[in-house]
Amino acid sequence: MDLDTAFRPSGPYPHRVLTLGWKASAEQFGPPELLGLAERAEERGFDSIVVSDHFHPWRDTGGHAPFSFAWLGAVGQRTRHTRLGTSVVSPGFRYHPAIVAQAIATLASLTPGRVFLGVGSGEAMNEVPVATIEWPSPRERQRRLREAVGLIRELWRDDYVTHEGEHFRTRAAKIFDKPPAAVPILVAAGGPKAAEMAGEIGDGIIVTSGKKRELYTDELLPGSRRGLAKAGRDADAFERMVEIKLSFDTSADRALANCRPWAALALPEEAKRGVEDPREMERRAVTAEANAHTRFIVSSDPDEACEKIGAYVDLGFDHLVFHLPADDQARSIDLVGKEILPRLRKRS
């Protein structure tokens, strides 16, 4: 059995119409407050609610890290129509793939047709403190992810699955409450090899904004197309999601200041790699505070902001998820819902 193609949805998704989502910043807000913000995001016109899955947040001071699956279950019951998903879960270290399969199957049963699973190869910050392992190489993490995705799909489709893999085992394992419909799996990618794997095994790709244009045009998007071609799959049924870091406010000074708590995002990759303690990440982020805004679209002009956001749509991304950095998240949701979302929909 080819586990990579098991239980893959067929035909185009409804998301070919531009989907505009809100990133639930679970590192920044506790579960009850975040739940209220999710309700507000739906009310203000966001199409999806996407939550991070952290065991440790990016910072110790004022940090939070609620359990994503439990939180999504609550959101599903408090909202009516928004798509719900993770960005991203690593189904290979602190979670066995079978547990991820069971959790998402339950969510899909409670909110049919609304759930997707976003997966990635993991971060030391979230996995090492619990799995107590030496953090493996990117190549090994990708192999684990590939096997995990195949096993999740098999568990969603078949009964009493026995799997003897390189990294995971199951013995006559059965998910009794399977998803009522196919659940898309989106694969996060930061480089061409991961993007190619996303095209091979995923129903979509997840990338983040704020990088050089050439990364998207020359590496990530071509990589996903190579994977799609290798697997003989239809590119039109492949979702292209980008998390867009957007700091928009009527005050330019406030928009700039809102970025500062997220200074860790501006650290070079080598400064973040392998860090497992949020206190250490917070210490390192101090050196990047002056550059925190460089990973964000920062603007007080809605037309300017939409022009910069639109560049990602022009590249072919069809699911934009907005990470809004402000501590006054309700204000940001209101402003983006009023000034940005309608302009983007009109533009598309």
Residues that are catalytic: 54, 123
Q: At what angle do helices 138-157 and 97-110 cross, to 10 degrees?
A: 50
Taking each continuous run of H as one helix and of E as one strand, the counts in the chain are 14, 11
C-alpha 113/C-alpha 58 separation (Å) is 32
C-alpha 250/C-alpha 302 separation (Å) is 9
The H or E element spanning position 205 is strand 204-208
CB 29 within 8 A of CB 12: no
DSSP 188-255: E-SSHHHHHHHHHH-SEEEEESSS-HHIIIIIIHHHHHHHHHHHT--GGG-EEEEEEEEEE-SSHHHH
CB 89 within 8 A of CB 126: no
User: 70 forms bridges with which residues in the sheet?
Assistant: none
Preceding peptide of 161 cis, ω within 30°:
no
Which amino acid, residue 228? L
Preceding peptide of 50 cis, ω within 30°:
no
DSSP annotation of 235 reads G
* Cβ neighbours around 131 below 10 Å, total: 17
CB 259 within 8 A of CB 326: no
Which amino acid, residue 322? F
The H or E element spanning position 22 is strand 19-24
C-alpha 177/C-alpha 106 separation (Å) is 7
Which SS3 state, helix, strand or coil, does residue 206 take?
strand
C-alpha 193/C-alpha 242 separation (Å) is 17
177 phi and psi angles, rounded to 5 deg: -110, 85
CB 300 within 8 A of CB 251: yes
